[in-house]
Structure 1
Amino acid sequence: MFHKEGAKIILFSTFFSTGSIFILDYFLNDTYPVLCKIFQLIIVAFLILILQFFRNPVRKADNSDKHILAPVDGKVVVIEEVYEPEYFKDKRLMVSIFMSPINVHVTRYAANGIVKYSKYHPGKYLVAWHPKASEENERTTVVIDNRIYGEILYRQIAGALARRIVNYAQEGMRVVQGQDAGFIKFGSRVDLYLPIGTPIEVKLGDKAIGNKTIISKLS
């Protein structure tokens, strides 16, 4: 299953790849058969990369207000108390997940609740792990008011390769844990900002699976 945000790119890439393979076969195969096959394999590899990037595996969330799920696939690269300057304007516990180009790039709602804030910020395209990326890169900030945890902020951050952030959250929406919240194209990260003292179930270096990995759990 593929994400709807990849429909145009997948369609274009499929036509481009198929056409290129036939053109190479017609003009190059008789004279340089080995070179022709190499180029064709590169084109097939390119198409496979596009298809796997936009994959959208079906994952049923264990829906509960007593836990927060990973919003994306990737590696946990930061767990620390930081100052959040945009919405809370005080200290929060940040959990940051970095996505490589081979990860699933669907963003899912980490918790149930009401969207209290949703804002897009244009910006730079620093590498996603750069310390200033969360403040200077293209990004969206979304706050969900959950009945157990209170207000939870997540931030989609574009990376050096990412050139488009898609955010479905609108203020006043009631969202359900596990539903698609958006998409980030070609490498990026998502930061979660939780109340200070929130118990964390993951460690630095853990591989998170969106909609499956429990970031925090309350008894």
Structure 2
Amino acid sequence: MDLGRTLRMVMAPPHRAGLPFIAGGVVVAILGGLLLTRWLFWLGLAFTLFCLYFFRDPERFPPARRGAVLAPADGKVVSVAPAVPPAELGLGEQPRWRVATFLSVLDVHVNRMPADGTVTRIAYRHGKFVNAALDKASEDNERNALALRLPDGRDMAVVQIAGLIARRILCHVREGERVTGGERFGIIRFGSRTDLYLPEGVQPLVVEGQTMIGGETVIALLEDAPASRPAPAAPPGSPFSPA
């Protein structure tokens, strides 16, 4: 990443979800200045700067590549493995490839659509707040799941998962809404995870440890994977293996 792009990302305007937090930090800093309370001023200033950085919302430019499935979030890939989509989405019990991306507090937390399509289902589920980097976070943590119907009739899913210190998942799209790959659809506050369940038969192009750029990194290619290709089997001993 070149210096110019890095500066544009760091100095990007904040997402609207961060405005109340930024305003609160400014008020605290002003009060600290008026009351000549140095520690309060610096606390308010530090919090304001942190929120400006955390809630930054840079523009992204999806690649002009037909059939590209894009990363739904910035962060580090912590798992690439077969898994069953959340039951509340009604996408069946057949395992499909899941790419899980962990977002640290230093990553951009705005979520983006992985492909063009129609949102057919949105399901929110309460849960725990364990470390989002752990594999069990996909099952145990509080989450908001979206099912996306592609133009060719296949389905994929995106799941916003709260993390250890995340306490709010925001989703700005509705069921029945048509969306475009790379467009913003929500944000998760303060450390989280985003899981992407690929259509059946689609193979991921990324590996664990790889860094994702939401709305730009290509995770898979749809045209290279006909729907008739067998889905991956869950590994022996996996909670997703048939009983």
- Are residues 1:166 and 2:167 paired? no
Which ranges of 4 or more aligned residues in structure 1 deviate by more than 6 Å? none
Alignment-mate amino acid for residue 182 of structure 1: G
* Pairing of 1:167-182 with structure 2 (within 5 A): 167-182=171-186
Unaligned runs of 5+ in 1: 28-35
Does structure 2 retain, via aligned residues, the 8 Å contact 1:65–1:148? no
Q: Distance in 2 between matches of 1:206 and 1:84?
A: 22
The CA deviation at 1:201 is 2.2
Q: Distance in 2 between matches of 1:104 and 1:212?
A: 13
The CA deviation at 1:180 is 1.1
Match among 195, 198, 217 for residue 213 of structure 1: 217
**CA separation of 1:42 and 1:146: change in aligned 2, threshold 3 A:** same
The CA deviation at 1:57 is 0.3
The CA deviation at 1:69 is 0.6
Q: Distance in 2 between matches of 1:64 and 1:177?
A: 11
Give the secondary-structure state (helix, strand or coil) at the position aligned to 1:93: strand
Equivalent position of 1:15 in the other structure: 27
Q: Distance in 1 between matches of 2:140 and 2:97?
A: 20
Q: Distance in 2 between matches of 1:149 and 1:74?
A: 29
Give the secondary-structure state (helix, strand or coil) at the position aligned to 2:95: strand
Q: Distance in 1 between matches of 2:112 and 2:193?
A: 13
- Are residues 1:84 and 2:85 paired? yes
Instruction: State the aligned residue count.
Output: 208
> Which stretch of the first structure deviates more once superposed, 59-68 or 116-125?
59-68
TM-align CA RMSD: 2.0
Does structure 1 retain, via aligned residues, the 8 Å contact 2:112–2:214? yes
Deviations 1:116-148 (Å, cap 9, x if unpaired)?
111111111111123322122111010111124
Sequence identity of aligned pairs in percent?
35
Equivalent position of 1:46 in the other structure: 47
More strand as a share of residues = 1
Q: Distance in 1 between matches of 2:135 and 2:51?
A: 29
Q: Distance in 2 between matches of 1:212 and 1:148?
A: 22
